[in-house]
Amino acid sequence: MMDEKQRINQILSGDTSAFGYFVDTYQEMAMAIAFRICQNKEEAEDIAQNAFVKAFKNLHTFKIKSKFSTWFYRIVYNTAQTQMRKSVYKTEFVASKHEELNEQTDDHAVAGIPSEEQEKLIDRAMAKIPNSEAVVLTLFYLEENSIKEVAEIMGLTTSNVKVKLHRGRKNLAEAIKKEDG
């Protein structure tokens, strides 16, 4: 099985169809990151698509010794931030995977709630916390990036990521309690 570095070399050698692997692998998280910033499903789709185009066009600048996901999520994050400066649209989106995030929030906040309801509750609560905290939580818990990788993706210091992670967990737990009433 071909690893990502081999696929990148394959693309750079002219086999552009090999980029489909990256789209298939990273599309869901690209959408999640974009949505956490813009809060609009259609806009998140556009941001993710634009980020893939930018990644493809700039693949020659990717440093092979780095992780592709970190480099790509930074593109998604920056594309979304740029788009948010231009946009005012806000809607609701239901994310697909929240199991680990459920466990990392206040355990009592979602205890006894069926899994599907937990996801909806967390989505509503995530929409109520600051976007930067929602992105940090998404990258750290759902995508399982390290604090250092999250810092690199978002252009922050590791200390700042730790603070946002702490505040994000606290604010998410409070928002869940308010949502659950």
**Percent of the chain predicted with pLDDT > 90:** 49
pLDDT in tens, 52-66: 999 999 999 998 888
Predicted TM-score of the model (pTM): 0.69
Check if the beta carbon of residue 29 is closer than 8 Å to that of residue 80.
no
Lowest mean pLDDT among 13-17, 97-101, 139-143, 159-163: 97-101
Structural domains in the chain plus CATH codes: 4-86 (1.10.1740.10), 99-180 (1.10.10.10)
Which residues are within 8 A (CB) of 128 and not within 5 positions of it... i.e. 6 or more apart?
175, 178, 179
pLDDT in tens, 77-102: 999 988 877 654 333 333 333 444 55
pLDDT (mean) for 5-31: 93
Calculate the CA 167 to chain-centre distance. 17
